[in-house]
């Protein structure tokens, strides 16, 4: 609601909002209305299964999107790569509990190949999930919000490429992926304020 009234979704009736923070949050808007479903919990893209019997999620299931495409998820990806490969990386200079999504970002910006591969893998998994969600609702745009989205082109560039590859052909080149127009510090209050318009 906040994005629709105060952000980049003004005048857009069909879009998906994805928050990439410590978890993955989402909201789906169809024909100008937030989709709540019969329980009020519709649109939980973050808890769709992307890897059967995959990483254990805080919800108790295995393989949820948020265990792969959140700030937490990219750290798990990096730790997995560090443990299972011999690829050279400056991240090996740190203890496991010192590795954060910000550190991975910093080294990816410096061209560290393992750190870059973490963003590439995250983008690939996220692209498949977004393509699936898009094929159900046919949005005009998908907006990304949250800490991991601040990595900019490190995530966005491969994400857009993989997204187009994953889409059913009729949807290709019809859906834009953009960063949210809301500031982190204002998002919660603007979203709450926007609910008064419903």
pLDDT at 80 over 90: yes
pLDDT at 7: 86
Q: How confident is the model at residue 190 (pLDDT cuts 50, 70, 90)?
A: very low
Give the mean pLDDT of 190-196. Answer: 47
**Please, which pLDDT band fits residue 6 given cuts at 50, 70 and 90?**
confident
CATH of the domain at 99: 3.30.420.40
pTM, full prediction: 0.91
Statement: residue 188 has pLDDT above 90: no
* pLDDT tier for residue 5 given thresholds of 50, 70 and 90: confident
| Model pLDDT, residue 198 | 52
Give the Cα separation of 54 and 61 in Å (integer): 9
Tell me, what's the pLDDT at 184? 64
What mean pLDDT value characterizes the chain? 92
The domain in which residue 74 lies consists of 2-195
- Count each helix (H run) and each strand (E run) in the chain, helices first: 7, 5
Domain count, the chain: 1
DSSP per position, 85-145: -----GGGGS-GGG--HHHHHHHHHTT-HHHHHHHHHHHHHHHHHHHHHHHHH--SEEEEE
User: Is 105 within 8 Å of 71 (Cβ atoms)?
Assistant: no
């Amino acid at each position: 609601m906040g994005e629709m009234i105060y952000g980049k979704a003004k005048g857009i009736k069909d879009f998906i909002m994805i928050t990439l923070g410590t978890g993955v949050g989402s909201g789906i808007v169809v024909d100008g209305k937030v989709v709540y479903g019969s329980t009020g919990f519709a649109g939980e893209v973050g808890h769709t299964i992307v890897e059967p019997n995959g990483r254990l999620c805080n919800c108790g299931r295995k393989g949820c999107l948020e265990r792969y495409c959140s700030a937490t998820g990219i750290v798990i990806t990096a730790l997995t790569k560090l443990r299972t490969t011999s690829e050279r990386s400056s991240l090996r200079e740190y203890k496991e509990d010192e590795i954060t999504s910000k550190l991975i970002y910093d080294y990816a910006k410096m061209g560290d190949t393992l750190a870059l591969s973490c963003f590439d893998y995250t983008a690939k998994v996220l692209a498949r999930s977004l393509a699936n969600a898009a094929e159900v609702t046919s949005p005009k745009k998908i907006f990304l919000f949250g800490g991991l989205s601040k990595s900019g082109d490190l995530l966005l560039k491969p994400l857009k490429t993989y997204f187009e590859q994953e889409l059913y052909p009729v949807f290709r080149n019809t859906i834009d992926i953009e960063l949210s127009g809301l500031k982190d510090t204002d998002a919660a209050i603007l979203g709450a304020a926007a609910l008064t318009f419903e």
